A and B are shown apart, each in its own frame.
Chain A
Amino acid sequence: MKIEVLGTGCKKCSELEVVVKTAIAQSGKFVQLEKVDDLMKIMEYQVLSTPGLVIDGKVVSTGKVLSVDEVVALINS
């Protein structure tokens, strides 16, 4: 499984990255995490409000900092 956090360096984006790291640790799964700050790549995902969360190439959330529980639920589904 591969998770990408999309964001160009705003405060919310780094907050989400921390949440995702915690969620991955909690889920106990093997997950590859990547922080994407290249604008062109973010545009390719059609995300207009950062931070965006992408799991296996699919955008699952935009514009908000999810809670750890929410991210764990997304990882497990």
Chain B
Amino acid sequence: MWYELSKAFVEHTIGVQGKAADALHFFLYDTVKIWFLLLTIIFTVSFLRTWVNTEYVRAYLQGKSKLYAHAAAAGFGIITPFCSCSAIPLFLGFLQARIPLGVTFSYLISAPINNEIAIAMLFGIFGWKITALYIAFGLMVAIVGGWFIGALSMENEVLIDVTPMEGRLKADIVRLSITQRAKEAWHYTVDIFKKIYIYVMVGVGVGAWIHGYIPTDFIVQYTGEGNPFAVIIAVLMGIPMYSNAAGVMPLVEVLTSKGMLLGTALSFMMAVTALSLPEALILKKILSLKLIALFFTIVGSGIIVIGYLFNAIL
């Protein structure tokens, strides 16, 4: 409905035709659609998360069997909030509660991949199937990557001495009334939206331009089957783009619609969210360079493998 409405608005009310109309219509349609979905999905996720905070996750994971703990840690990464600025207290707090290093990494990998902005953008742009695949692969990278880091016994690479605490923590669900939860979720949603709405516009704007003016052959040549290194390049390019997941994803949409392979696109989006330079710099205060490099290498290779696998299957 919104598709026809925005098309009619561009062609009749503003009165442009041809390529310009195409680009303008695409811009208007996409921006508003993505804004709407961002608001809805971020609100839903932040409403759900008022029940569970990081403290709860820590208490829950304490003393769980290893395999289960990896899966649970990755799963909790979907609903709990994550800000790279609290990566350090989180990391040390988990170790303090005697949660294994590998399980902590499973959480640390999953939380930024499955953040609500990325999920909302994906859902808005590619629909639920691709979103589900993205989440499933994200969980897989988090579980396997965390397990791998755990298996290498890198405990000595943590630069700060953590004194393990005695006894068990109590897992308490956050107590609030429904109205309070809704209010909190709404505040959070508006906060996030204010930070990213402009990136959505820029991303969709550049996307609209590519959509209208760059020939398909050009994109296929560089990002499609013609380029065997596309996935690796995509992952490397994704690393410095962390803060702009909202602006990057509309571009990916256009590139895929013009012939970029879907596995390459998925890898790129995961690299944007999972591998972030600012986070690495923050973690450098408490982890050795060796461990951080290992973390990036393992997660990066995992994402690359997924991209090639996906390109080969589809």
Tell me if B58 counts as interface (CB < 8 A to partner A).
yes
A10 touches B86 (CB 8 A): yes
Tell me if A58 counts as interface (CB < 8 A to partner B).
no
Complex partner residue of A46 from B85, B93, B160, B162, CB under 8 angstroms:
B93
B92: A residues at CB distance < 8 A = 39, 43
B83 touches A48 (CB 8 A): no
A12: B residues at CB distance < 8 A = 83, 85
**Interface size in chain A (residues, C-beta < 8 A):** 16
A49 touches B88 (CB 8 A): no
* Chain B: minimal CB distance from A6 (Å): 8
Q: Mark A47-74, 1 if CB is under 8 A from B, else 0.
A: 1111000000000001110000000000
- Give A43 to B88 CA distance when docked, in angstroms: 10
* Chain B: minimal CB distance from A13 (Å): 8
A63: B residues at CB distance < 8 A = 53-54, 81, 86
Tell me if B11 counts as interface (CB < 8 A to partner A).
no
A8: B residues at CB distance < 8 A = 85, 88-89
- Give A50 to B91 CA distance when docked, in angstroms: 12
Complex partner residue of A43 from B55, B86, B93, CB under 8 angstroms:
B93
* Chain A: minimal CB distance from B158 (Å): 13
B88: A residues at CB distance < 8 A = 8, 39
- Give A58 to B93 CA distance when docked, in angstroms: 18
Instruction: Give the nearest-CB partner of A10 in chain B.
Output: B85
What band does the interface of chain B fall in when counting residues whose beta carbon is under 8 Å from A? 20 to 34
Give the dominant DSSP class at A's interface.
loop
- Give A10 to B88 CA distance when docked, in angstroms: 11
B89: A residues at CB distance < 8 A = 8, 39, 42-43, 47-50
- Give A48 to B160 CA distance when docked, in angstroms: 16
- Per the 8 Å Cβ criterion, residues 74-99 of B in contact with A are 81, 83, 85-86, 88-90, 92-94, 96
B188: A residues at CB distance < 8 A = 64
B83: A residues at CB distance < 8 A = 10, 12, 49
A48 touches B93 (CB 8 A): yes
B162: A residues at CB distance < 8 A = 43
- Give A63 to B81 CA distance when docked, in angstroms: 9
A62 touches B93 (CB 8 A): no
- Give A13 to B86 CA distance when docked, in angstroms: 10
B169: A residues at CB distance < 8 A = 46
- Per the 8 Å Cβ criterion, residues 1-50 of A in contact with B are 8, 10-13, 39, 42-43, 46-50
Instruction: Give the nearest-CB partner of B55 in chain A.
Output: A48
B58: A residues at CB distance < 8 A = 48
A10: B residues at CB distance < 8 A = 83, 85-86
- Give A63 to B92 CA distance when docked, in angstroms: 16
A50 touches B85 (CB 8 A): yes
Instruction: Give the nearest-CB partner of B82 in chain A.
Output: A49
Instruction: Give the nearest-CB partner of B165 in chain A.
Output: A46
- Give A13 to B83 CA distance when docked, in angstroms: 12
* Chain B: minimal CB distance from A55 (Å): 17
Residues of A within 8 A of B (CB): 8, 10-13, 39, 42-43, 46-50, 62-64
Residues of B within 8 A of A (CB): 53-55, 58, 81, 83, 85-86, 88-90, 92-94, 96, 160, 162, 169, 184, 188
Task: List 22 A–B pairs whose Cβ atoms lie within 8 Å, in order of A's numbering.
Answer: A8-B85, A8-B88, A10-B85, A12-B83, A13-B85, A39-B92, A43-B93, A43-B96, A46-B93, A47-B55, A48-B55, A49-B53, A49-B54, A49-B55, A49-B81, A49-B86, A49-B89, A50-B89, A63-B53, A63-B54, A63-B81, A64-B184
